[in-house]
Structure formats: C-alpha cells, structure tokens
Amino acid sequence: MSDSDEMPALEEDPSPPSNHHTTTHHQLPSTYNSLVSKELMACDSDGSEYEDEEEWEEIEESVTIKTVCLFCPVISYSVTTCLAHMIDAHGFDCMSFVCKFSLDQVGFIKLVNYVRKECPSPDDLIKQEKDVWDNNDYMKPVLNDDALLMYDIEEMVNRSDEVESDYERSYKGATCEELQEIINKQREVMQRMLQAAQANSKTDKVWARTVGDMRPEEDEGYFYSYAHFDIHHEMLSDSVRTESYRAALLENTEMVRGKKVLDLGCGTGILSLFSAKAGATVTAVDMSDVLFQAIDIVRENKMESSITLLKGRLEDLNFEHHFDFIVSEWMGYFLLFEGMLDSVLHARDHHLAPGGTLLPNRCTMHILGADDMDTYNKLVVFWDDVYGFKMSCMKQEVVKEASTDVVKSENIITSAAIIADFDLMKIQPSDTEFTTKFSLAVSRQGQITTLVGYFDTFFDLPHPVYFSTGPHAKPTHWKQTLFYLPKPKPVSAGEVLEGSISVRRKRREVRSLDVSITLDGQTLRYVVE
C-alpha cells in the first residue's frame, strides 16, 4: 500500500466509561437506541437507523468493538470470548442465566445495564429475582457503545436449544464421568475455534486505522501471537533469561517482601510466581489469551491470595494503588524489536510508586564484527550460481533483512562497541530512536562478513543480577542480530574501523526497526522484523 493509499483512522469517542470498567470506544449506529424506543416509546438516537440487515453488518464489521466483562476490567475482542471468560473467571454462565429467566433482547439489555450500574457479584446476581433489573431505568446504557448490548441474545439462545436437543439425543444415558469428558473435549474445540476466528478478524482491526499512526500497544496481532504455547515454551526454556529474573527476585527478598509488584505482560505468570514466592503481592496483566492459562497456573500453585490477574491493555486499565516494583520481560531481538518498552515506560510514569523500581532497570546495546565465510557463502554467495543460473538480484533482499542466529565466539574478529545505554528509570520512548558513532578494534587478520548486534540486561539491586545475549555468553532465545555486508571487508590486526548506526521504528510496521549502518563511507540499510 502506498502512502497515498493509506486508510483513514477511526475516530474514537473521547468520553470515558461511566463505571469502574475501562475500555476504548468507537462510534456505533443507533440500532441499540431503536430497541430502547420500542420499550420506552421514546428514542434519543442521534444517528440513523439501519433497516437493511446487510448494510448494518457491513458497518458493524468496519468498527473495532471491545467487550468489557460484567464483573471485572478484562477486555475481550469478541462477545463470545467475553462470555467464555465470565464462565472461566467468575463461574457465571450468561447463556444459562438468560434461559433460566426466559429473557428476550430487551430483558438482556436491562440485565447488562443493571450489572454494570449496580455491580453485584456473580454469586449475588445468581440469587436475585428477575424483577430486580426488570425496570425501564436500566434501558439506559452505562457504557457507551457497549458491545454486549448489540449482541443478538435471542438467536444464540435458539442455537443453544438446538445444540441441547442434539446433545440429549446423542448422550442420553451417559455416566457423569463420560459427560464430563465430552464437555471437556467440546470446550477444547470451542477454544480453538475462538482463537481461529480472532486471528482472522484481527488483521482487519489492525488496519482499521492508518498503520503509520498506530502505537505498539494497539497492535492486536502481536498480542494474539503470544497466545500460542510454543513461544512460552521457548521463553521458559531459556535458562539464562528465566533464572536471571528468579535470582533478581529471590536473592533480593528483603526488598521485595511485603511490597506491591506489577507484572506487565505476564504470559504464563512465571515472574508473578517468583514475586509471590519472594513475599510480594502481585497484580499480573496480559493482553493475550494466555492469561486464562496463567489463571489456572496460579490456582494450581495455590497462590490466588497473592496474585491477581487482569486481561487487557495496560493503557486501558486503572489500579487502586501504585506499585513498588514493575517487573517485565519486554526485550525483543536487538533489544528494541517488538516495541513493548513503550508500555513499560507508560507503567513507570503512571503506576510506579515514588521510590519504586523497574526490573530490569538498565539495558545496553552493542555491536561487533564477525568473520564467518561459511555462513556468508550459504546465505549470500549462494545466489551467484543457483543450479547454473545467476540470481544475484536476490542478494540485495537477503542482505537488507537482518537475521537472528547464534554466532560462534571463534568467529568474533573485533572488539564490541556500546551503541546505547538505557537507564530505564529515566528514558523516554523517543530515546529508543537514536544515531551514534562506534569504533571497532580488529583483533586478527580476516574478513568481516557480518556486523553482530546484541544487548545486555541489568538488575541494579543490593544483590545485582546481569545477563548478556552476546556471542561470548551462553546462548539465549534472543540469539544475536546479524547484519550481513554486501561484500566481505578484508581487515588486519590492529586496524580500527569507524562507523555510525541509526535505529528508527518502521513507520508502517510499528514493532519493526529500520537500521542504517555507515562503514567506510558506505551507508547500508537493514530492517529488523
């Protein structure tokens, strides 16, 4: 898509929600108001009605709607996911409740507004009688553009009845154990269907506003990627990463015990578990659906009293107190890829108590030169002769895209230069875009085929902890970031190479990086994605 073809940004409703829930709202048509008018004989709609069903569906699909749970601030990206969350997290089956009281669409609207306004607990709501919320006062929405109010509950109830009839015919006479096994399997299938549906819809949502204007914390496709098992297995299997966080928390228990900790981007909750073990009270936040597994993990380890879990964007959440520590594993390839540092700095500025600390609280970025002709020949020289044909045009594409790999220590041919030193307690998001000079001292004769980027991480505490992702250290899942030269550069021992590097965010892909490296008067451009 060219710059001239960019899609216009959606206008957000600046008015905040009117109760304890927090979310982001967008302008919606007046279908809800037409329902109110049928019940109250009065309509305050300030928009037009859409009688044509296809027209309504097209408008509905063009808007990003976030669904807020009835009982907590968790935000879901579909009503179905929200209903599933209320069952898993609060034990409230909304569909069964609607069927119990034979609620029609208007009755369901009253119920939703009643719960949002009066804030009963799920247990209290289950015990109440219908006439408690069967009042026209509850036709007035509590949240602007509440997605639950737009949900066709009657259609879903009819579908549920059909499923129930099929179920009775198929499983009549089954034992309790057999029925439970069937239910568990159906829940697994439903969860996979939900994830697939969300994956298909999120691409449209991400592009609903001008991509160049989108902030990293709005990139829903990124959060969805963290719902997969394999990425968490990879991170937890990284002993350098995980044991460093464990040491920072458990070797400094005298600082952590009795304090409030915010675990930002908690994933499976391992950092929350370390923090709770150190004696802290923890609030864990994640936008990804992996949070539901984290809830089960916390319960399995009997740490519910110490750890509270919230699903949603940090920027959309409010907390009752500030935190003494904010712990987060936000680092990406070449440190800054992914852009999650923005959310960490937002949390620091809005939710860290005076005198509080980020963990980690310092990171440095480095670059050095490597001589690895074997890999260079496989990836770059390969295109000079592909089964007897020249494909040299492919070299440019291969070279400009930075890759990640583990560089052998024996291939290092220069000293390392620090290109950035971030005091995370002080920096601003703009500081992560920079240009700096560097010098590399050549240690032996050879050919530089690759410039290698990596980062080091520091927990400056009474018992300090540090780890490196460089080629001289134990490999991590971050590996190193490799910038291949168009042609190998011959060097001699004692030679000093002068250069500069510029790091910027890509305008169109907010989590990727544009990197420019100038060496010997030649500027080379790379992308980290």
Q: Which sequence positions are flagged as catalytic?
A: 329, 338
**Burial of 261 (C-beta count, 10 Å sphere; 0-12/13-18/19+):** buried
Query: Rounded CA gap, 275 and 244, in Å?
Result: 13
Q: How far is CA 140 from the centre of its chain?
A: 33
Tokens of 80: 């179905």
Cis peptide before 360 (omega within 30 of 0): yes
Contact 330, 314 (CB under 8 A): no
Beta strands in 114-211 (DSSP E): none
Residue type, 416: A
Would you give the DSSP letter of residue 332? B
Query: Rounded CA gap, 109 and 70, in Å?
Result: 12
Angle between helices 239-250 and 270-277 (to 10 degrees): 30
What is the Rg, in whole angstroms, of the alpha carbon atoms belonging to the chain? Answer: 27
Contact 529, 219 (CB under 8 A): no
**Burial of 393 (C-beta count, 10 Å sphere; 0-12/13-18/19+):** exposed
Q: What is the largest CA-CA distance in the chain?
A: 88
Contact 23, 68 (CB under 8 A): yes
Query: Rounded CA gap, 167 and 380, in Å?
Result: 59
H-run or E-run covering 513: strand 513-519
Handedness of CA 237, 241, 244, 246 (dihedral sign): negative
Contact 79, 155 (CB under 8 A): no
Distances (CA, A) of 312 to 23, 408, 409: 9, 41, 42
H-run or E-run covering 220: helix 220-225
Handedness of CA 421, 242, 238, 474 (dihedral sign): positive
∠ CA(507), CA(216), CA(310), 5° rounding? 170
Label residues 428-463 b or e (16+ Cβ within 10 Å = b). Answer: ebeebeeebebebebbeebbbbbbbbbbbbbbbbee
> Would strands 465-468 and 480-491 be described as parallel, antiparallel, or unpaired?
unpaired
